[in-house]
Amino acid sequence: QGEPGAFSEAASRRVNAEAELVPCKSFEDVFAAVESGAVVFGVLPIENSIGGSIHRNFDLLLEHDLPIVGEVEVPVVHHLLALPGSTLQGITRVYSHPQALAQCDRFLRTLTGVEITATYDTAGSAKMIADGKLRDAAAIASARAGELFGLSPLKSSIQDFDGNVTRFLVIGRE
């Protein structure tokens, strides 16, 4: 699930570094792709050491008859990313996935006059800022997302705890 540069991509690469990855916009789309046979496996976040359980994926596991065939843990380091030349003082909006926002709550509370908006994906937030050339906006995402979309870190390692880890499940048809 997610754009290239999402933590799900990092998890997928840990499962199989050589796999052809197929990004999906939503968790539901991952289940549908596996069920239809469009992909062999799906990789989904299930639990984060700071943000807790990803309840939607527990629900989807119950709704679909797809077994869990593996799991992988990925260290998660969040960066506040913006267009080159942007400054922290010039940021009025921050975008990211709700889990990433929860994992960076302490940092976000230090920002004044900044609108925090939940989006479908960490890397998707970075892509949105790059595509829209949004000079007053920043995304919370991975360093790889910053590299892929030409964004610079305004602040690095902004998660509440250094040992931030997300556990991902691998689902398949058999």
Active site residues: 166, 168
Read off φ and ψ for residue 27, nearest 5 degrees: -60, -40
Instruction: Give the Cα separation of 105 and 102 in Å (integer).
Output: 5
CB 170 within 8 A of CB 69: yes
The torsion angle over the Cα atoms of residues 31, 35, 41 and 45, rounded to 10 degrees, is 10
For tokens 């050589």, name the residue.
Answer: 18
Number of other residues whose CB lies within 10 A of the CB of residue 87: 9
The owner of tokens 């590299």 is 147
Question: In terms of Cα–Cα distance, which of 123, 137, 134 is closest to 94?
Answer: 137
| Burial degree of 161 (CB within 10 A; 0-12, 13-18, 19+) | exposed
DSSP state of 29: H
